[in-house]
Structure 1
Amino acid sequence: MKLKILTPAVAALLLASCGTQKTASATTAETTSPVKETVKNVALTPELAEGKNLYENSCVRCHKLYDAKKFTQEEWKPILARMQKKAKLDDTQMASISNYITSQL
């Protein structure tokens, strides 16, 4: 009986984890995410686009995406440090995310 319940649950979990990732556009700072924000009309550099992509794909796995302006730069530092372990991101990836968030403040 347990096997009949666990097998579909594992299959559903596997399918959900294999979903497609969003890709960030390197030409505009506009976002299609559900985050309501006033977007700067600044072209994203490839480094900032990578940070945006990491932010959108890593953070949304566990919770909704927050508007960068919701917190100050000082408030973001401990948040990002805490989330780095949970998202299993290395220091380079966290620097990209941090640079992207800072550029949006």
Structure 2
Amino acid sequence: MKSKIITLAALALFVVSCGTQKTAPVAAAEPATPPTESAKAVTLTPELAEGQNLYSNNCAKCHELFEPKKFSQEEWTPILVRMGKKAHLDAVQMTSITNYINSQL
């Protein structure tokens, strides 16, 4: 009987924790966008805007967004490769994000 209660409690905790992660990025992605746009007064092309959108929506699911200028292009390369694998992004998405980051440096 105890094992059933513990199993149900663990399952409920898992479901609740998964549900909270899905709603948190929406709030985190919106405030992160204005500082990025105000940091660089360059009009984004549709391709760069797509990269910014992918960066904001995919990266903010797991952690706080970093300002592109926080790292150099050489430092960003392995970070983007590693995080792209974790986020299960395809080559086109990774290229869009990489181009966006590089445009902001």
Q: TM-score, normalised by structure 1?
A: 0.76
Change (3 A) 1:72 1:45: same
Change (3 A) 1:70 1:12: same
Task: State the partner residue of 2:96.
Answer: 96
Give the % identical residues: 46
Query: Using the alignment, how far apart are the partners of 2:39 and 2:25 within structure 1?
Result: 22
1:19-76 per-position Cα deviation (integer Å, ceiling 9, x unaligned): 3865xxxxxxxx7318856511222111111111111111112221111001111111
- Structure with higher RCO (Cα < 8 A, 6+ apart): 2
Structure 2: which 5+ residue stretches go unaligned?
A: none
Structure that is richer in helix per residue:
2
CA RMSD of aligned residues (A): 2.5
Change (3 A) 1:13 1:75: same
Q: TM-score, normalised by structure 2?
A: 0.76
Change (3 A) 1:53 1:85: same
Change (3 A) 1:32 1:79: same
Query: Is the counterpart of residue 79 in structure 1 residue 79 in structure 2?
Result: yes
- For the Cα contact (< 8 Å) 1:35–1:67, is it kept in 2? no
Instruction: State the 4+ residue runs in structure 1 displaced beyond 2 angstroms.
Output: 13-22, 34-38
Aligned partner of residue 32 in structure 1, secondary structure: helix
